């Protein structure tokens, strides 16, 4: 009787960079498109529109990179502090740490005897990794990576922000506002679908969520631009 290999394709290893990539591209499209729509609604010329869009791209990419680096670095510092504390406890109180690990497995459904055996074997192999994973919830595939998050966010923000800029360059003057809004909304929906495909999530829900909030943001910004453009 032949045995078939059971393979599984999980997506957890993509969580770190996928979150930063989607956030960067989404923010790049929305923030740049909203700014340009607000300026276009105030009856500004194409040159002013492009200058504002380029400034939004550069400032936004730098802001995303700095924000992601600081945020994820804080997470990394917290994780490292917890691991250092755990190293000390494993060095000073190994028996208590083994009982603590065994109690975690009991709560997950193992018998006390089996939980003790599992805890003993895991700690003899790599005690810190066992406690980091099962006590602290720190996994290698989801661990904080500040530089990766910063670079990913900056690059994807720039890519997202470039799309409304390209539209503004190519669109005829009399259709600029309409095409800018329509193409930006299309890009947002496409991004939602792509992110869902990569992450294995429902595509329709992701597309509708991104499209709705993007359309709302652009409508509000264009309305404000029209109001203040008329007043000024």
What pLDDT does 229 receive?
62
The enclosing H or E element of 47 equals helix 46-92
DSSP H helical segments within 93-202, as ranges? 94-107, 112-134, 146-170, 176-199
**pLDDT over 80 (residue 218):** yes
How many residues in the chain?
232
| C-alpha torsion sign, points 118, 124, 127, 129 | negative
pLDDT in tens, 35-75: 898 888 887 788 888 999 999 999 999 998 898 889 888 88
Residue 118 has pLDDT above 50, yes or no: yes
Question: What integer is the mean pLDDT of 198-207?
Answer: 77
**Token match 């990419």: residue?**
61
Tell me if 210 sits within 8 A of 192, measured CB to CB.
Answer: yes
Residue 101 vs residue 10, higher pLDDT? 101
Confidence of residue 143 (pLDDT cuts 50, 70, 90): low
pLDDT at 174 over 50: yes
Q: Which residue has the higher pLDDT, 55 or 207?
A: 55
With beta carbons less than 8 A apart as the criterion, state whether 203 and 197 touch.
yes
Q: What is the pLDDT of residue 161?
A: 93
pLDDT over 90 (residue 83): no
- Mean pLDDT estimate for the chain: 83
| pLDDT of 105 over the 60 cut | yes
Tokens 């290698």 sit on residue: 140
Say what the alpha-carbon torsion angle 137, 141, 145, 149 is, to the nearest 10 degrees. Answer: -120
The model's pTM: 0.68
């Amino acid at each position: 009787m032949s045995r078939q290999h059971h393979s599984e394709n999980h997506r957890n290893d993509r969580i770190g960079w996928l979150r930063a990539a989607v956030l960067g591209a989404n923010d790049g499209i929305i923030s740049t498109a909203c700014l340009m729509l607000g300026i276009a609604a105030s009856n500004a010329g194409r040159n002013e529109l492009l200058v504002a869009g380029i400034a939004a791209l550069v400032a936004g990419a730098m802001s995303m990179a700095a924000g992601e680096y600081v945020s994820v670095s804080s997470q990394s510092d917290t994780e490292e502090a917890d691991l250092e504390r755990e190293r000390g406890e494993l060095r000073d109180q190994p028996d208590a740490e083994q009982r603590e690990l065994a109690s975690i497995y009991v709560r997950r459904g193992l018998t006390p005897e089996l939980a003790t055996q599992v805890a003993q074997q895991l700690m003899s192999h790599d005690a810190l990794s066992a406690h980091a994973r099962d006590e602290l919830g720190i996994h290698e595939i989801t661990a904080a990576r500040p530089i990766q998050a910063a670079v990913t966010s900056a690059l994807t923000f720039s890519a997202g922000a470039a799309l409304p800029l390209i539209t503004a360059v190519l669109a005829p003057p009399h259709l600029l506002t309409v095409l800018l809004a329509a193409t930006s909304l299309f890009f947002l929906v496409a991004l939602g679908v792509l992110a869902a495909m990569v992450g294995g999530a429902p595509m329709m829900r992701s597309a509708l969520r991104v499209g709705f909030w993007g359309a709302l943001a652009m409508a509000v910004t264009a309305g404000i631009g029209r109001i203040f453009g008329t007043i000024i």
